[in-house]
Amino acid sequence: MRKLWGKAGLLGSVSVASPYELKLVQVLFRHGARTPLKSIPDVLEAQWVPTLLEPPPHTHINYVVRDLQGGPQPPAPVEDSYRKNILTGGTFPGQLTTLGMQQLYELGKRLRRRYIEDDAFLGSTFSPAEVYVRSTNIVRTIESAKCLIAGLFHQKQTETVHILTTTGESEILYPNYHGCKLLKLLCSHRWAESSTLPDIAADLQSIQSALGIAAHQRVDFILIRDDMVARETHGLPCPPALDSWREKVEQRAVDMMCHVFQPSKRENLQLSVGPLLHILLNNIEEKVQGTSAEPNRKLFLYSVHDTTLIPSLMALGIFDMRWPPYAADLTLELHQHQQTSESFVKVSYIGQDQLLPGCSGIYCPCGVQTRCCRGIR
């Protein structure tokens, strides 16, 4: 809407029609705030008590978890591994907290404003014909998907929400080192190398000394960052020595990820998120060509991880060298120009439109004949 002003003030509002018609939306979103995967050793531990994990009533929906073919939920070995350990306070590592649930509910509300209230692109009640929901087979991402749906549709549903997932071996919603032997071969040594690079190793030695972490303890900047951010987000105490190290911890954690994925070489990125990006592009092509088996589908939701978003952003050429926060979303919209019928893709990250490399504007022409969209290859 554009407001018009006259001498006496506001005269009224007129709708400024966009030449682009929205056709399809795909959202990759990180889960919400959670308990840490591991605690920093040899420092004062935070109390991760069960009351931090209580679900808010407004995030409740009726849902079931199924495999991609609609069968029973597959085994979840990653989740099982978390439950072999208990954090101080009595909770498991990697669990979505009340705050994390609210973060995803708020993301759902933001998507509601964009696609239901402002645009009327989606119906106001959840419909499986319109909305597809997929998650990694981990409790925090499944619960995050549930909370987003609750916020997006204000808990309005006439049918049970099916959250689809798959086995660990065939997962493509994160870099799968177990399912892809070549990726494991290329990346495993780079993970080991990342903490031994001269600048990173020197800073790691310094922070271990500052925090009083014994030399024999196996820590890296990603572990330290994970615990630090989890504590800060939930208002739990951090070791005072971390105060002066916060920016350096953030920087070195990102440096490690850049070393692992080598964005300039592309091969590691192709193996890490190529299969996922292929699915996103295939969804776009099917919508453009009218060949989708679900012609009424308008929204694809993928509940993923920071380790999904980082290489995805790198592959798109829009990684800002900052670790994706909890509940960060990477959104791909397909638009059709109403005069020329040409198709365009618009990408946003955490609500901000992105200019993809090779594109002259935020609406990036999508060439179906080349089977990909410029800037997403």
- Read off the pLDDT of residues 45-100 as tens digits, 9 standing for 90 and up: 999 999 999 999 999 999 999 999 999 999 999 999 999 999 999 999 999 999 99
Any idea what the Cα angle at residue 110 is, between residues 107 and 112, rounded to 5°? 110
DSSP assignment string, 107-120 = HHHHHHIIIIISS-
| 332 belongs to a structural domain | yes
Confidence of residue 4 (pLDDT cuts 50, 70, 90): very low
Beta-strand relationship, 299-304 and 131-135: parallel
* % of residues, the chain, pLDDT over 70: 93
Residue type at 155 in one-letter notation: Q
CA-based R_g, the chain, Å:
22
* % of residues, the chain, pLDDT over 90: 87
- Domain boundary residue among 203, 236, 261? 261
Same domain, 122 and 218: no
User: From residue 300, how far is each of 24, 45, 115, 251 by CA, in Å?
Assistant: 8, 39, 13, 32
Residue type at 313 in one-letter notation: L
Amino acid 5: pLDDT? 53
| 141 belongs to a structural domain | yes
| 69 belongs to a structural domain | yes
> CA-to-CA distance for 120 and 139, rounded, in angstroms?
31
Tokens 């079931």 belong to 64
Answer whether residue 6 shows pLDDT above 90. no
Q: What is the mean pLDDT of residues 325-335?
A: 98
Residue type at 116 in one-letter notation: I
Same domain, 152 and 284: yes
Tokens 């590592």 belong to 93
> CA-to-CA distance for 109 and 353, rounded, in angstroms?
18
Confidence of residue 219 (pLDDT cuts 50, 70, 90): very high
Q: What is the mean pLDDT of residues 3-31?
A: 72
Tokens at 93, concatenated = 């590592």
| 375 belongs to a structural domain | no
Beta-strand relationship, 9-14 and 20-30: unpaired
The residues near 297 (Cβ < 8 Å, ≥ 6 apart) are: 24, 129, 130, 131, 132
Tokens at 221, concatenated = 């900047």
Same domain, 161 and 93: yes
- Read off the pLDDT of residues 97-122 as tens digits, 9 standing for 90 and up: 999 999 999 999 999 999 999 999 99
- The dihedral through the CA atoms of 119, 316, 336, 288 has a sign that is negative
Contact 131, 299 (CB under 8 A): yes
Confidence of residue 366 (pLDDT cuts 50, 70, 90): confident
| 10 belongs to a structural domain | no
| 324 belongs to a structural domain | yes
Answer whether residue 207 shows pLDDT above 60. yes
Same domain, 60 and 80: yes
Same domain, 69 and 149: yes
| 209 belongs to a structural domain | yes
Tokens at 104, concatenated = 């995803």
> CA-to-CA distance for 226 and 244, rounded, in angstroms?
17
Contact 100, 31 (CB under 8 A): yes
Half-sphere exposure of 302 (CA within 13 A, CB side): 25
Same domain, 61 and 150: yes
Amino acid 367: pLDDT? 59
Answer whether residue 7 shows pLDDT above 50. no
> Which CATH number characterizes residue 303's domain?
3.40.50.1240
- Domain boundary residue among 261, 283, 308? 261
Tokens at 370, concatenated = 């080349």
Amino acid 229: pLDDT? 98
Residue type at 340 in one-letter notation: T
Same domain, 152 and 192: no
Same domain, 278 and 327: yes
- Domain boundary residue among 235, 261, 287? 261
Domain count of the chain?
Answer: 2
Domain that holds residue 152: 20-176+273-365
Same domain, 172 and 306: yes
Same domain, 130 and 32: yes
Same domain, 144 and 189: no
Q: What is the mean pLDDT of residues 227-254?
A: 96
Out of 4-8, 283-287, 322-326, pick the least confident.
4-8
| 12 belongs to a structural domain | no
Tokens at 297, concatenated = 């589908």
Confidence of residue 18 (pLDDT cuts 50, 70, 90): confident
Catalytic residue numbers read 31, 306
Amino acid 171: pLDDT? 97
Same domain, 196 and 313: no
pTM, to two decimals: 0.93
Tokens at 13, concatenated = 């509002």
- Read off the pLDDT of residues 177-201 as tens digits, 9 standing for 90 and up: 989 999 999 888 899 899 999 999 9
Measured in whole angstroms, the distance separating CA 128 from the mean position of its chain's CA atoms is 21
Average pLDDT, the chain: 92
